[in-house]
Amino acid sequence: MSEPRTSADAFDSSFETADYDADAYAADPYGTVDQGLAEVIDLPSNGGTQATRSSRGRLQELDSLAGKIALVTGAGAPDGIGFAIATRLRLAGASVAIVSTTKRIHERAEEIGAIGFVADLADEAEVGGLADAVAEAIGEVDILINNAGLTSKTDPAVVKPVAQLSYADWQTEVTRNLDTAFLVSRAFVQSMAERGWGRIVNVAATTGVVTAVPAEAAYAAAKAGVTGLTKALATEVVADGVTVNAIAPGLIRTGSSTVPELQKGLDGPMGRPGSPEEVAAAAVFFCAPSASYITGQTLVVDGGKSLRA
């Protein structure tokens, strides 16, 4: 058990649619769309004809997260999904804060030039303290990745049939997989809405969202709840420039993967489990300024396994 952390000091460290000009579009469709998109997502536009613009530079600009501040939860494992997402956000230009329940988060932070925080995200007071600490250290969060909740070898999932599942077991799975996403989202979403820009990406799972397996009812219910939270929150802030989406990874090879899980990945359509980096690519896609017209969606990342009966 770690010591209580209930304050910042306890930590270790409307858009308006662009005008549409039909004649201008007919004369230069690429330039007109480029101009309009730049106005909608608040990016400078080069204007002019297609020949005078650098397509590569424009794409980099649309996908750049330079100047944005991101928070990734559950990023303590060096071979986990959270750390892979944090690494990709740094590569996209964002300033990144990462959080986990142990001090190993500082090692991960040093590896990618981020800042690490230790917190129990199932504790309402600690989440409030985290929000204050992050704002004080690097500023207001623009991008939130709710990855906390996945299990580890030292904290495995509760695997019991419903008839044998205690209420405490049920609460454990719901708390770490759904309550954490709710508490952290609530702590940061209002600030995003007030500033008129934000991205929230929740990490769900194929289990509970598109599939189910015996003896994992609590986990499935919690992850299905994550997608419900995603849709509901998306409707609340859609007019405030904030998008809320989810990703649903399937069998991903991480440090906490069991041999049976990896075997299931080998039996999938692609003949292998996925990698954390492949999940990270999907998550960071939702964060890009150019993804501003996507909200309330869940993207399945499972190599096509859920397509099989």
| Residue 262 confidence (pLDDT) | 86
Tokens of 38: 């730049």
Q: What is the pLDDT of residues 202-249, one digit of tens each?
A: 999 999 999 998 999 999 999 999 999 999 999 999 999 999 999 999
pLDDT at 23 over 90: no
Confidence of residue 31 (pLDDT cuts 50, 70, 90): very low
Tokens of 241: 């420039």
Q: Are 11 and 117 in contact (CB under 8 A)?
A: yes
Return the minimum-mean-pLDDT range out of 1-5, 162-166, 285-289.
1-5
Q: Are 119 and 126 in contact (CB under 8 A)?
A: yes
Confidence of residue 261 (pLDDT cuts 50, 70, 90): confident
DSSP code of residue 28 = -
204: nearest Cα among 220, 185, 215 = 220
Q: Pick the more confident residue, 144 or 264.
A: 144
CA 70: distance to chain centroid?
10
DSSP code of residue 69 = E
138-141: list long-range contacts, CB under 8 Å, 24+ apart: 138/69, 138/95, 138/97, 139/69, 139/95, 140/69, 140/191, 140/192, 140/195, 141/69, 141/70, 141/71, 141/97, 141/188, 141/191, 141/192, 141/198
Q: Hey, which residues are catalytic here?
A: 219
| Residue 26 confidence (pLDDT) | 45
Beta strands in the chain (DSSP E): 69-73, 95-100, 115-118, 143-146, 198-203, 242-249, 298-301
